[in-house]
Amino acid sequence: MNDDLNVPGALAVVFDHVRAGNTALDGGDTAAAAALAAETVAMLEVLGVNPLNERWASATGSNVDAALGRLIEQLLAARDEARANKDFATADRIRDDLAASGITIDDTPSGATWNVKG
Read off the pLDDT of each residue in 79-93 and give the average, rounded to a whole number: 93
Average pLDDT over residues 66-83: 90
pLDDT cut 90: percent of the chain above it: 40
Q: Which of 45-54, 82-91, 100-109 has the lowest mean pLDDT?
A: 45-54
Angle CA(71)–CA(14)–CA(69) in degrees, nearest 5?
Answer: 15
| Structure letter (DSSP) for residue 107 | E
Which of 36-45, 63-72, 79-88, 99-108 is predicted with the least confidence, judged by mean pLDDT? 63-72
Structure confidence at residue 46 (pLDDT): 86
Q: At what angle do helices 61-84 and 7-26 cross, to 10 degrees?
A: 100
Q: Which pLDDT band, with edges at 50, 70 and 90, does 53 fall under?
A: confident
Per residue, the 3-state secondary structure of 38-60, as one string, reads HHHHHHHHHHCCCCCCHHHHCCC
pTM: 0.50
What is d(CA 90, CA 71) in angstroms, rounded to the nearest whole number? Answer: 17
* C-alpha span between 13 and 53 (Å, rounded): 20
Q: Of 31, 8, 1, 5, whose CA–CA distance to 81 is shortest?
A: 8
- Cβ neighbour number for residue 66 with a 10 Å cutoff: 12
Average pLDDT over residues 57-76: 77
Give the mean model confidence (pLDDT) for residues 58-65: 64
Q: How large is the average pLDDT for residues 86-115? A: 91
